[in-house]
Amino acid sequence: MDSIQIPYQDTGYFSKIMLDYLEEKESIQPFYHRFPSIDNFEAQIQEKAKSFPVENRKVLVSALEQQYQGLTISDLSQQNINHLVLPNTFTITTGHQLNLFSGPLYFLYKIISVINLCKELKDKYPKQNFVPIYWMASEDHDFEEIQYFNFKSKKIVWDQEASGAVGRLSTDGLASVFETFSGLLNSSINANELKDLFSKAYLEHDNLTSASRYLVNALFGEYGLVVIDGDDQQLKSLFKPYALKELKEQVSFKEVTKTSEQLATKSYPNQVHPREINLFYIGNGFRERILKSANGYTVNNTSLTFSSVEAIFEEKENLTDVVSGNALLRPLYQEVILPNLCYVGGGGELAYWMQLKSTFKAFDVPFPMLLMRNSALLITEKQQKKLNKLELSIEELFLSQNDLIAKKVKERSTIQYDFKSKRKQLSDNFKELEELAAKTDASFIGAVKAQEKKQIKSLDHLEKRLLKAEKKKMYDLVTRIELLQNELFPNQSLEERQRNFADYYESYGKELLTTLFKSLKPLDHKFTVVNL
């Protein structure tokens, strides 16, 4: 098993803002703090150490101990939780929605990136401790985005009505999902491990938060990962002053609007659009936006009204039933309650983090380093043999299917005709005609240009006809290329966004994780192709 790395720029699957970020282009530099290189972490450590209160550490550890009650925890994860109370301990964090059975394959890549980065940092800075954190997006309310996962090209759906924070949802109804999933698995030892994992996570826990915590802990607990749930009364008590400031001053709306305009001048599209107040009121079965009104505040789609900011919190012993940040304030909440140095996320996530730098400054909270999570393509031994027979390179796989097929057909064609040189020759000839027309009668230039366009179009048509004929002769080659590329890039997309880890775990078991840990290198900032 080995791996190779290729530049993200050569894949065709990543946004301009992320490619510019990875190249540290001047145009994107104002929107982040420090680029995630191993040496830059020294200054980030010093900055966070000065700003993060000791009291917050005590609250954090207390909350985590309570959240982990009743769950078997590895010695390494327990040690990491204990270390969080110490001033020389810092976190590296990733977060994700509570997708059913982890959702897309890149869920694993996020967490492995975080764990591997902590190991690299410990080697570089041995006097500090670094704790890998997975933040559960338990307060998210987009059930449609998390109610399914894909396995063996089939969509397995948890079909039920749901509202409010997804983490609070009951796991009722997941027994039928388990039956569907089990029916698709083979009878191998690895398949039985998957059945056991799903069953213990979702059929032996009452809500989605508990089920997700069990699942992630079962997969990554031995590596020291710490799972945190932000929907927690103790943790939200630390965020209350920031929520009050947001409600009174609409800080994030002002700052994000300003930053978004600056990004637009650099031709970077906005990932998230701010609202006047970027907080939700959260309760049993609902999570709705808090709105400013003429007489105070209201909660959208409810009868709740408040005369003042303070009234929102009055007589509320449990703060988890009051405030919840949206996509623009959840990052601030995270950095308030964690001694965090770096957030690891996908391109879309980091794009909206880049709208937040001035918001963090306005709240006087250090802005973390932003690291693009590892991204990968997994290739089985059987697929690699097919690649070799078809004489396809890894780099060629990332071409569009039309371009890939055209390239391979031309390479194998017995008819070698250089249409590119013919186009140049044609253009040169018409350039001479234009110069001649300008000397005689300039009115003919338009007619010359029209004729040039017509003849080049005819040449293009001939090239397409020839390619089509050659494709027909090489039907078997074309079909095999199409089938293989479609296997590796389902729906012409990166497989990490389509497949679930179970697609590979069924064949490779825990060796899958071992291979990924060896192959994914977070600070190399490159796309990884892993041979299984």
Amino acid 229: pLDDT: 97
Strands 369-372 and 340-345, how do they pair? parallel
Q: 70 vs 66, 73, 205, 214, 299, CA distance in Å?
A: 9, 9, 11, 10, 35
CA distance 379 to 375: 14
Q: Answer positive or negative: Cα dihedral of 187, 188, 189, 194.
A: negative
Q: 166 vs 88, 100, 180, 284, 335, CA distance in Å?
A: 34, 11, 22, 11, 22
**Whether residues 358 and 405 fall in one domain:** no
> Which of left, alpha, beta for 70 (phi over 0: left; psi -120 to 50: alpha)?
left
Task: Output the six-digit token pair for 102.
Answer: 């982890």
Domain final residue, candidates 374, 396, 417: 374
Query: Band of the pLDDT at 416, cuts 50, 70, 90?
Result: low
**Whether residues 391 and 496 fall in one domain:** yes
**Whether residues 367 and 396 fall in one domain:** no
DSSP of 213-238: HHHHHHHHGGGT-EEEES--HHHHHH
Cβ atoms within 10 A of the Cβ of 326, count? 18
Please report whether residue 14 resides in a domain. Answer: no
Q: What is the mean pLDDT of residues 434-445?
A: 67
Please report whether residue 529 resides in a domain. Answer: no
Please report whether residue 521 resides in a domain. Answer: no
Specify the number of domains making up the chain.
2
Amino acid 242: pLDDT: 94
pLDDT exceeds cutoff 90 at 226: yes
**Whether residues 108 and 168 fall in one domain:** yes
**Whether residues 107 and 249 fall in one domain:** yes
**381, 531 in Cβ contact below 8 A?**
yes
CA 374, 379, 380: angle at the middle one, nearest 5? 140
Q: Where are the alpha helices (DSSP H) in 52-173?
A: 54-67, 75-83, 106-124, 143-146
For residue 288, give the CATH number of its domain.
3.40.50.620
Cβ atoms within 10 A of the Cβ of 163, count? 12
**Whether residues 68 and 29 fall in one domain:** yes
Range of the domain at 434: 379-513
Coil, helix or strand at residue 297:
strand
Strands 340-345 and 89-96, how do they pair? parallel
Task: Output the six-digit token pair for 250.
Answer: 């609409």
**397, 485 in Cβ contact below 8 A?**
yes
Give the model confidence (pLDDT) of 243-268 as tens digits.
Answer: 999 999 999 999 999 999 999 999 99
Q: Where are the alpha helices (DSSP H) in 250-306?
A: 251-265
Please report whether residue 248 resides in a domain. Answer: yes
**Whether residues 446 and 485 fall in one domain:** yes
pTM: 0.88
Query: Band of the pLDDT at 161, cuts 50, 70, 90?
Result: confident
Please report whether residue 415 resides in a domain. Answer: yes
pLDDT exceeds cutoff 60 at 1: no
Please report whether residue 489 resides in a domain. Answer: yes
**Whether residues 33 and 106 fall in one domain:** yes
pLDDT exceeds cutoff 60 at 467: no
Amino acid 12: pLDDT: 94
Cβ atoms within 10 A of the Cβ of 133, count? 24
Give the model confidence (pLDDT) of 7-42 as tens digits.
Answer: 999 999 999 999 999 999 999 999 999 999 999 999
CA distance 381 to 1: 9
CA distance 214 to 64: 14
Please report whether residue 286 resides in a domain. Answer: yes
**Whether residues 84 and 56 fall in one domain:** yes
Any idea which residue has 């994700």 for tokens? 96
Give the model confidence (pLDDT) of 120-141 as tens digits.
Answer: 999 999 999 999 999 999 999 8
**Whether residues 366 and 386 fall in one domain:** no
Domain final residue, candidates 374, 393, 408: 374
Cβ atoms within 10 A of the Cβ of 94, count? 26
**Whether residues 394 and 359 fall in one domain:** no
CA distance 81 to 60: 9
Please report whether residue 94 resides in a domain. Answer: yes
Q: 185 vs 196, 498, 504, CA distance in Å?
A: 12, 18, 12
Percent of the chain beyond pLDDT 90?
Answer: 75
**Whether residues 495 and 387 fall in one domain:** yes
Domain final residue, candidates 374, 404, 427: 374
